[in-house]
Structure 1
């Protein structure tokens, strides 16, 4: 019975992941917008008032002997979901929308299959056999455990997927040009060490715990409420309603961690040079300082645009797969 849960969850996750991959790619590209823009390249000058900030490149104000620093370069314009999509198609071709889809398949096979299967096992163990009651606190706890373990298993594929999705935004001479997820993982292990495959793993685990707990627990809870109040019967309408609501909850809960995860995983670490970020907290602080607190919700529109359809496809497919495999 336990293995069946892994199979059902794995099939549903792969179908959902592949069908919403372009939206996930747009989310990653939008989360990386503004990352390379430095508000001031000289931190020593940044902390001084203009009248006291003397620097080689400063210029004298007209009619005054006081030297002030030159104006900062304007921040790069940030564009929306549709504009990002159009730009990718124009510059990289339609196929670019599926960059890293092989990594998505592997990620869903490792991460989602594990989390869905473990959640199903815990759900069976913690459901009261007499009342068939599975309390919300138990749902959340099961989601946290299943999501954390699944993320640890699937992190190498997650790193590869983020890099493959983000590659097209780099200058041609700086692109990694991974041929497939296998090539990506092999080259990362060879060039950056095996530990690079688990770069950002703490973020991946935290995000997965939030997503799984909010997504699976919300779906089960909302579905139960709909059926208990007899608002709809147990069919496609109930599954779509519950899954879309669960997707919204998951997007709100996970987006800040997702932004930091994307940036940490995508950073380039040159031999002999300090990494752009020393860790998750450093990345979060630098992002907020440079781009403001709402930078943690960059890519929220594509996140909810992807999380909603993904969750709908995931649970609708899962319910159908369960019907097909009910006699096995």
Structure 2
């Protein structure tokens, strides 16, 4: 992410962890709302249905209390550190690999997209079990079954088997490949178009702008797969049964056929409000922590 000399992996991992936890503490309620809207099939009718982001916020607070907006946060908190750390570290490592493989000294637009997609695929291996537990805790219809993250984990494994924790891996991989390729690809392009930062303040502004635009583009690209992922992971496995939502692309076709194209962008508003500004927060915090580590190492 930084144009300066890369630091060892442990520093990239730590900076990614700090950036990820910072982002989720600020933006998590939007993720709860996004999931609730995505899991709802058809039009929102009645007090238990949601007619968009604001209505979902209002009904959750009114009917369940404001604390419900942080329901299941323990799973993503535990996930965010390895997830974000893996994202940024993998992006740097894949970048080095591709530059060496293709004999390119500096990163370009095409390599940024390829590197981001590879980092997204790598990140998916880390996040799938955490995402499945989080989705089931966030869903209003299933939340009453579980007394927190550990209870949800135990009951899921007991009822459906340990491999269920990787249910939805394919759709998660597609979600992360699409988001990361858009995010890192846009960051490279936008940074090149912005005026060169003359001081720390301008660098932060540039990082906020490029990160927010990258997060927005990534969200536009990956929201359909995010909808599919939420539905696949929220479908309990029944022995001998065939789930309605199973593989990513067939499930995409099912949602499109039954609910129309707009259903593939359910939850887009809270998702883009989280991942647009959230992408900026991620980049600023990550860059700031990396600069701190670099200064600390140089001061030895």
The gaps in structure 1 that reach 5 residues or longer are: 38-72
Match of 2:4 in 1: none
1:265 aligns with 2:272: no
Match of 2:3 in 1: none
Match of 1:146 in 2: 119
In terms of mean alpha carbon deviation, does 260-269 or 201-210 score higher?
260-269
Q: What is the CA–CA distance in structure 2 between the aligned matches of 1:234 and 1:221, rounded to whole Å?
A: 17
Tell me how far 1:201 sits from its aligned partner: 0.3
Number of aligned residue pairs: give it: 285
1:28 aligns with 2:35: yes
C-alpha spacing 1:180/1:305, structure 2 compared with 1 (3 Å)? same
Q: What is the CA–CA distance in structure 2 between the aligned matches of 1:123 and 1:149, rounded to whole Å?
A: 13
8 Å Cα contact 1:34-1:78 kept in structure 2: no
In the TM superposition, what whole-angstrom CA distance separates every residue of 1:92-118 from its partner, at most 9, and x where no partner exists?
Answer: 111100011111112212322212111
Match of 1:177 in 2: 145
> TM-score scaled to structure 2, two decimals?
0.86
Tell me how far 1:229 sits from its aligned partner: 10
Q: What is the CA–CA distance in structure 1 between the aligned matches of 2:225 and 2:149, rounded to whole Å?
A: 23
2:275 counterpart (293, 298, 307): 307
Secondary structure in 1 aligned to 2:194? helix
Matches within 5 A, 1:21-60: 21-34=28-41
1:121 aligns with 2:89: no
C-alpha spacing 1:228/1:30, structure 2 compared with 1 (3 Å)? same
1:211 aligns with 2:179: yes
In the TM superposition, what whole-angstrom CA distance separates every residue of 1:276-295 from its partner, at most 9, and x where no partner exists?
Answer: 33432342222122211221
* Larger radius of gyration between Structure 1 and Structure 2: 1
Q: What is the CA–CA distance in structure 1 between the aligned matches of 2:250 and 2:276, rounded to whole Å?
A: 30
Secondary structure in 2 aligned to 1:325? helix
Matches within 5 A, 1:288-307: 288-307=256-275
Q: What is the CA–CA distance in structure 1 between the aligned matches of 2:69 and 2:216, rounded to whole Å?
A: 23
Q: What is the CA–CA distance in structure 1 between the aligned matches of 2:275 and 2:26, rounded to whole Å?
A: 12
8 Å Cα contact 1:114-1:149 kept in structure 2: yes
Secondary structure in 2 aligned to 1:20? helix
Match of 2:14 in 1: 7
C-alpha spacing 1:176/1:190, structure 2 compared with 1 (3 Å)? farther
In the TM superposition, what whole-angstrom CA distance separates every residue of 1:25-61 from its partner, at most 9, and x where no partner exists?
Answer: 1111111222599xxxxxxxxxxxxxxxxxxxxxxxx
Matches within 5 A, 1:75-90: 78-90=50-62
RMSD of Structure 2 on Structure 1 (CA): 2.7
C-alpha spacing 1:224/1:284, structure 2 compared with 1 (3 Å)? same
Tell me how far 1:126 sits from its aligned partner: 4.9
C-alpha spacing 1:276/1:176, structure 2 compared with 1 (3 Å)? farther
